[in-house]
Amino acid sequence: MKNQLLILLAATMFASCATQKGPDPVEGKAWFGEFRYTGNDAFFNENPLPEGKFYNPILSGFFPDPSICRKGDDYYLVNSTFSFFPGIPVFHSTDLVNWKQIGHILDRPEQFVNTDQPVSYGIFAPAIEYNSYNDLFYLTTTYVGSKGNFVVTAKDPAGPWSNPIWLPEVPGIDPSLFFDDDGKAYILNNQDPSYPPLYQGHKATWMQEFDVVENKTFGPRRVLRDGGHNLAEKPIWIEGPHIYKLNGYYYLMPAEGGTSINHSQVVFRSKDIWGPYETYENNPILTQRDLDRNRPNPVTNTGHADLIQDPNGDWYAVFLACRPYTPENHFNIGRETFLLPVHWTEDLWPVILDRGLEVPMILDLPMNATNRDLEPGFMKRGNFSYTESFADQKLPMEWFFLRTPVEEWHFFDPENKGVWIDARDANLRERKQPSFIGTRQRHHDMTVEISMLWLPSTPNDLAGLVLFQNEAFHITLGVTLVDEKNHVVLQKAENQEGVVNKVVLESIELPGSFSGHIDLKAESKNGQLAFLYKTGNSDWQMVKDGIDARYLSTENATGFIGTILGMYVSSNE
């Protein structure tokens, strides 16, 4: 009997120690241990992947505006990041399906200074190209809210990349470079036509020669295409232009229709790079805007495509698209990167997807490709789970900050793993640089959990888990002081007559024995959100469920990003 009691006591002590994982509390700092994520979208559960196939999207979650280039057998892909730092992830692949992040274009604060821009400002529509004449990679992009368009260069896409070379003579947005086979270079962009716009959203595609030695434009700037496919139909937002040379033609391919439900891709061609460019009579070559909104598993908002030819001579397109969970096009996870093969018509026009067809989410693997997304380092597709403990003592590439950090406020813990984050005088409702580290939500049905150690000192102190869409639309589950007692609180941001305030949805007092160790959980399923917590050896306790997930949708919150799952600490809540 005595031995049984000793065993029971030892087991109890072990269980207690297991739940009290991590270091001791430190005033003014929160410690975050494990971050656990599980994606569980119904489509992937109901449609197991057959042999020789792959899932779209190839990059799930907030990976919009893809651009791609190739050097030999290596492909490189980039995406927009708006006000997040480091900016513009760089991915590498050898088969177009399996991608591994190898760095960021803008990974030094002097390259991207952003301390007060709205979330959906910042870095728009990067375009990456390889120039075989000087064996150099180029990236052009727009910094909306600052000095406009710039170019950076690198010998290795993994970096380092140069500091921005600003292009004040290139107005508008969405610059991209084209390197002709005679060594000449040209820069395209989207801006107003050469006369006052005829309607809201009336834009034109312009081009000018580019000096790759001096990294500047020269010569006349000319309009290649005014207004898009058919000016009489008042097409809006002709943007994201690229040029390709094939079959004796220059193909000009921009998007039009805006980046929402009417998004599309169109194509024009000319024997002369300066035009005139004839329009493909069956434009658009990619859109989903004509399809039944009540169709199962819809893919919407398709456009902003870039074409690439593989070494076998086959052509593919990367493009952005969305996976809404309502017929009204509500989606929370942002615009994602999809891949489709391109076919050519008998009269030599490229077509990404014939009109009336749905974007497939299961496709044949390209030649020589295999499914490697579950290998370490490769981006995962379909449903998956992972745990991040920050054991490498550095921020993994898929994590980032909101705006550019101007001081050091996070520290890794070699003894306990995890990361310490300082409570600072900034909150997520402000246009400041908060103590916030986030990663992308990549499924609509998902669970995220964090382990945290935190003892607030004042009612303004808060630390916890955030589901963040922008300054005015985010939900925080955290720990703070209420009437001098520790509470778990659930709060959201709300725009009230032009001022973004916090609204407390639930507050639960923690026991007096609370040591600061707590686990926080958010669940998203079938368009509903639930938030839970647990301390010590307790089971998960519900804070609040039944919250409408559409609150965090782009359709409701507006903007260009997807939901970011983050660890957050503030002394000014």
From CA 382, how far away is CA 443, in angstroms rounded? 9
From CA 150, how far away is CA 175, in angstroms rounded? 8
From CA 2, how far away is CA 18, in angstroms rounded? 24
Asked if 494 and 464 touch (Cβ cutoff 8 Å), the reply is no
Given the residues 65, 107, 174, 449, the one annotated as active site: 65
The vertex-442 CA angle with 439 and 446, nearest 5°, equals 105
Cα separations in angstroms, 401 against 83, 421, 436:
9, 12, 6
Asked if 398 and 103 touch (Cβ cutoff 8 Å), the reply is no
From CA 229, how far away is CA 50, in angstroms rounded? 39
Nearest to 514 by CA among 534, 497, 494: 534
From the centroid of its chain, how far is CA 60?
A: 9
Q: Torsion-angle region of residue 273: left (phi > 0), alpha (psi -120 to 50) or beta? A: alpha
Nearest to 203 by CA among 231, 178, 168: 231
AA letter at 96: L
Supply 448's token pair: 């995220």
Instruction: Give the residues across from 316 on adjacent strands.
Output: 308, 341
**Residue 398, exposed/middle/buried by CB under 10 A (0-12, 13-18, 19+)?**
middle
Given the residues 34, 41, 129, 239, the one annotated as active site: 239
Cα separations in angstroms, 534 against 25, 137, 204, 244, 304:
18, 49, 56, 56, 44
- Is 65 catalytic? The answer is yes
Half-sphere exposure of 463 (CA within 13 A, CB side): 30
Asked if 545 and 319 touch (Cβ cutoff 8 Å), the reply is no
Q: Torsion-angle region of residue 483: left (phi > 0), alpha (psi -120 to 50) or beta? A: left
AA letter at 154: A
The catalytic site residues sit at: 65, 239
